[in-house]
Amino acid sequence: MPALPLDEAGKYVAGAYVVFFTLIVLYVAIISAKIARIDRELTELVEIAERDEGASTTEPGGADTSASPASESGGADVNATPPHGDPVAGVDPEERDGEPVA
């Protein structure tokens, strides 16, 4: 003999399906809102990158003609990295600060 007669269990099964369907709809709504937010942020970042790319003009020889922070302030830009990208490239990592790293 089943725990509940089949005629009474039907309403509980239907209720379980309703709850499950509601959770699925809620999940899809949350994920779609997240994707929409990411899409808006990505579009904004692309616009910023394109605007910055358009502001930095270069001469035919490849020299950058946009103003640099060093030329605006009249001094050297202490945060600038060398043209090769790594401020300590070519230096042994164990000797970067003058002392070997353990």
Residue-wise pLDDT for 8-51, tens only, equals 788 888 899 999 999 999 999 999 999 999 999 999 999 999 99
3-state helix, strand, coil in the chain (%, to 5): 55, 0, 40
Q: Is the pTM of this model over 0.85?
A: no
Give 49-56's long-range contacts (Cβ < 8 A, gap of 24+): none
Amino acid identity, position 88: V
Under DSSP, the state recorded for 61 is T
**What SS3 state is found at 64?**
strand
- Give every CB contact of residue 96 below 8 A, 6+ residues apart in sequence: 88
The residues with which 58 forms a beta bridge, in sequence order, are 64
Residue-wise pLDDT for 56-102, tens only, equals 755 555 555 555 555 455 555 555 555 555 555 555 555 555 555 55
